[in-house]
Amino acid sequence: MATVSNAWQVSRHATRLLRLQVRGAPAGASAQVGCLVHRCRLRGATATTDARGFASLTGLFRRRTLRRGTVLEVRITAPGLIGKVVRYPVRRGHIPKGQVLCLPPGASEPQRC
């Protein structure tokens, strides 16, 4: 079962992403990260997991400060397997809590697990 490891720095004015990693995914799985708002600097960056199932997504960000209202989404998929989607809604003054969803093979929209 793949897990998403993260670390955040939160102040009254900004939320900053310090670390975003995928662990325990199948070897060669695709880990895609993007935002669900129009004014996001991150547009569908993708990393592939290594033989240990590890991929670091932190380096895919040009600027790691996220605006309030942004929803960061991480999709972990592998051919023929159920994918995992984790969404992090950014709120002012709070560490984002991940919402885990499942992505059936061939589907484009995630569902509850």
What pLDDT digit, counting tens, does each position of 75-100 carry? 999 999 999 999 999 998 899 999 99
User: Quick check: is 67 in a domain?
Assistant: yes
Instruction: Confirm whether 110 is domain-assigned.
Output: no
pLDDT of 42 over the 80 cut: no
Residue 32: inside a domain, yes or no?
Answer: yes
Q: What own/partner pairs with CB < 8 Å and gap ≥ 24 does 51-55 have?
A: 51/27, 52/27, 53/2, 53/22, 53/23, 53/24, 53/25, 53/26, 53/27, 53/29, 54/21, 54/22, 54/23, 54/25, 55/21, 55/22, 55/25, 55/29, 55/31
Residue 90, classified by CB atoms within 10 Å of its CB into exposed (0-12), middle (13-18) or buried (19+), is: buried
Domain with 74, as residue range(s), is 3-103
Of the pLDDT bands very low, low, confident and very high (cuts 50, 70, 90), residue 43 is low
pLDDT band per the 50, 70, 90 thresholds, residue 28: very high
Count of Cβ atoms closer than 10 Å to residue 105 Cβ: 11
- Residue 112 in any domain: the answer is no
β-strand partners of 47 = 31
Lowest mean pLDDT among 54-63, 86-95, 103-112: 54-63
- Number of structural domains (the chain) is 1
